[in-house]
Chains A and B, each alone.
Chain A
Amino acid sequence: MISHRQGNAQRISALDERAEALHLKRGMGIADARAMHPSIDIVEADPEADRRLLEGLADWCDRYTPLVALDGADGLFLDVTGCTHLFGGERVMLDDILSRFFHQGFDVRAGLAATPGAAWAAARFARDRIVAGGEEEALLAPLPLAALRIDPATRTSLESVGLRTAGAVMTAPRAPLARRFGASLLLRLDQAIGRLDEAVSPRLPVAPLSVERHLAEPVTLTEDIEKLVGMLATTLKADLERRGEGARTLALLLFRVDGAVSRIAIGTSRPMREPRLIQRLFHERLAALEQDIDAGYGFDLVRLSVLAAAAFDMAQADLTGEVADDGADIALFADRIRARLGEDAVLRSVAVESHLPERAVATPPFAEPPRRTTPPKKPQRLPAPITIFPPERPIRLFRSPEPIEVPATEMPEGPPLHFRWRRALYRVARAEGPERIAAEWWRAAPSDPAASTRDYFRIEDADGRRYWLYRQGLYGGSQVPPRWFMHGVFA
């Protein structure tokens, strides 16, 4: 029995058959129930876990149709339009769903109808019924008002005026109903009967292409899964070729026999359709996820979906049949590293126009820029001035400048004589500078402009190591004393 807190009292929110046999009811206070039957077992409700379980079930239902939507806390909508023939008809499909859920240990009721509203009512009030198109009114007429998916307040007030079944509401004149109970009642009614369309919004985006394989004998070995990926990718290739596209994002769905679903996604730097390469990418991903994927009793359905596709450019091969394309090699290499170690495992560097050294280079994740057929238009801007003597820049830059202790400088604005960095003392043999660097004026202005000024020095210590130090702030003028930082090292 599961309890939840409502107001100030613990109440029963759900209970099993044996508790029902003891004449306990939903909504009853826990104290009353305990008084009646002291030996009952009470568990605190956990809505989060319930939600996760429902989402897990929704994932599993993906095997019937890609359009699965959550409905409240305890329901699922499956849009099976066009899918029933794959399973041998509506009745066979419904029985299959019910029996599989039953074997997983769930008590499930289902209804199948032409509208979501009618299916909802059929599942809850008419057990396992298949409602043919046009029979919605006949189904709904004898059912109580709760079958119309209306809020409890409206239901109570409808009951207070004597309208106790859905059929009574349907026969009542519409205008007074709308005036008194609001538009939502008629909207729900129309949606259930099919006068208005109701869209079921699926949980996950529908993949433009997907191929799957049902297995009579569940697979457990990673090698078998990889082989299956190769076979599925071969099937997928023909579809991709017909569309003139290559896959940018691929997802592999593994449906376990007992209902758990593993979803493995990979991204590619450039559109891809070669089955061998797709198989290699999934090989890396599966190797990285080895601990996370629990094969259990095995997977009985494997599906490969293309979540995102892009136009695929064929490369012209030379007469020996070889396509010399180093870029493709590197793109594939980067994809494999990223499939194994995560999206940020391969970085490239991009020069950015900025005065601040740490902003002057960005390291975004590796991505192949989209290839263009026409040359890109030159932006109408003045080119950056080219300096004959570029400023000296270090070859390594610390992620965040490290504070150093400078006891004394020769001149107030000059380089330090000694400094202490990482608990070691360094004697400055030679120094060049300062090079004054300040943030661009359009960046957020600090309260004290002098505090953001940096004077950089190139320093060589007694052993010949070369460092890049800076002093932040100026002596004398401001309240805050200047601070020294180590920002990089030279070759």
Chain B
Amino acid sequence: MAMTAVARETVFALRRQIAKIEGTLPERLNAPAAAPLDADFGADAAADTRASATDLTLVRRGLAVASPDAFLSTGAERLDAALGGGLPKAALSEIHGTQTRDAGAVAGFALSLTSLILKQAQGLPVLWIGTSEIFREAGFPYARGLHASFGIEPEQLLFSEAPRLVDALWVAEEAARMTALAAVILEIRGNPQRLDLTATRRLHARTQGAGRPVFLLRQAAGPEPTAAPVRLIVASAPAVPRATLAGPLAGSIGRPAFTVTIGKSRTALPGQFTLEWNPDDRAFDERWGDERRTEARRKERATNPVPVVSLSGGGKDPAAASGAVLAFPAVGSPAALSTTARDQPPPGQRAAHLGPRRAG
């Protein structure tokens, strides 16, 4: 059977190549049917979905096996499951905001995805293309903030400001072909006539060739036909208070949070998710309902009794909290029977070699 396994690998590889040439995107079939999208979504069900997602990698069109690298996993399990593994990497993805004032959230979500990509493609530059109109209306990207929240260095950022939409689209098409860029962000305001199905199809085709994602941010736009396989509608969600050692700090504004609605996806049913961006880990945390979160926190407390917050913030490897670790074990404990401990005089007793205490 080893021969057939090798042969199947070859056939799959060839099919993948054909699918790439034909321009069909590898899609997964399994996830949406199995993933319940309502609020009461059990942990065991999530485990099930994860298991099935790794097992089944069948594709509807082209009959090719999707390469595991074809999807950008957001890290939020329910969203990944709904999208069938994550956002496609070699594709155009539309991220919509319903109003111009949502520009911060839309840009923030796209930058979080870019930050996830940069974890793998380190050091590659990111190109942000926008029309003059959107930069005037919604503000120019601020490199200091991008560095603080998303870990994107100022040297990695390239901006292109085009006075007209035609020019912005041309720059985006040229940039979508480049493999030397980690990601391309194209930001457009409203529903211009020129950004129609044909224009998005051109962009999508070039993106597929290069294998780098293009995020099309559309501020203050309504849904319209697009060649992008995925459309997400992003709005900002109220942030949770900052976590401190003494519990949540009342009235403070914590990590950025987004409400993500799936507007269009070939594999997913429409659904809504609330994600929280963790700037320390550069990862998404999915936010559950309130009772779910307290329960999760209780469970976490049970397994890990040290205080949740440490000096290193929300990082993966928090510094050991003070209080739980003792430098000198208490007298009488089993550890006190070690040799070094035995040699120490008990507290309150003077050492013999110091001699008797003189009076006066």
Contact = CB atoms under 8 A, between A and B. Distances in A.
Interface of A: 326-327, 329-330, 333-334, 336-337, 340-341, 344-351, 357, 360-361, 363, 366, 390-399, 424, 429-432, 458, 460, 463-467, 488-491
Interface in B121-135: 124-125, 135
- By Cβ-Cβ distance, the 9 closest A-B pairs, closest first, are A491-B108, A489-B104, A396-B139, A326-B180, A464-B238, A393-B145, A491-B256, A397-B142, A349-B143
B223 interface: no
A488 B139 contact: yes
A346 B178 CA distance: 15
A333 B178 contact: yes
Contacts of A366: 158
A399 B136 contact: yes
A361 B167 CA distance: 25
B119 interface: no
Interface of B: 101-105, 107-109, 111-112, 124-125, 135-136, 138-150, 154-155, 157-163, 167, 170-171, 174-175, 178-181, 235-239, 251-253, 256-259, 277
Main secondary structure on A side of the interface with B: mixed
Which of A334, A337, A399, A429 gathers the greatest number of chain B CB atoms within 10 Å?
A: A337
Nearest to B158: A348
21 contacts: A330-B180, A333-B174, A336-B174, A341-B171, A347-B159, A349-B154, A357-B142, A363-B140, A391-B148, A393-B142, A395-B104, A396-B103, A397-B141, A430-B252, A430-B253, A458-B253, A460-B253, A463-B236, A465-B101, A466-B256, A490-B145
A393 B149 CA distance: 8
Nearest to A366: B158
Nearest to B108: A491
A330 B125 contact: yes
Given A463-B235, A465-B102, 20 more contacts: A330-B158, A330-B180, A340-B167, A341-B171, A350-B154, A393-B145, A393-B149, A395-B107, A395-B111, A397-B141, A399-B139, A430-B251, A464-B236, A464-B238, A464-B257, A489-B139, A490-B104, A491-B256, A491-B258, A491-B277
Nearest to B168: A341
Contacts of A394: 104, 139, 142, 145
A326 B180 CA distance: 5
A355 B278 CA distance: 26
Contacts of A336: 174
A337 B160 contact: yes
Contacts of A466: 104, 236, 239, 253, 256
A326 B171 contact: no
Contact of B142 (A361, A430, A465, A467): A361
Contact of A340 (B125, B161, B170): B170
A486 to B, nearest CB: 9
Given A393-B145, A395-B146, A346 B103 contact: no
Contacts of B237: 464
Contacts of B175: 333
A429 B170 CA distance: 42
A360 B251 CA distance: 29
Contacts of A334: 158
B161 A345 contact: yes
A361 B298 CA distance: 44
B262 to A, nearest CB: 19
Which of B104, B171, B181 gathers the greatest number of chain A CB atoms within 10 Å?
A: B104
A345 B101 contact: no
Contacts of A347: 158-161
Given A333-B175, A345-B162, A432-B252, A395 B145 contact: yes
A333 B149 CA distance: 28
A491 B105 contact: yes
B253 A432 contact: yes
A402 to B, nearest CB: 9
Contacts of B181: 330
A395 B171 contact: no
A347 to B, nearest CB: 4
A341 B148 CA distance: 31
Contacts of B142: 357, 361, 393-397, 488
Nearest to A490: B104
Contacts of B109: 491
Nearest to A396: B139
B160 A346 contact: yes
B238 A351 contact: no
A351 B143 CA distance: 8
B139 A393 contact: no
Given A340-B170, A392-B148, A394-B145, A346 B158 contact: yes
A193 B170 CA distance: 61
Contact of A329 (B108, B167, B180): B180
B140 A399 contact: yes
Contact of B236 (A337, A360, A465): A465
A349 B157 contact: yes
B104 A491 contact: yes
Contacts of A424: 101
Contact of A429 (B139, B141, B174, B238): B238
A404 to B, nearest CB: 13
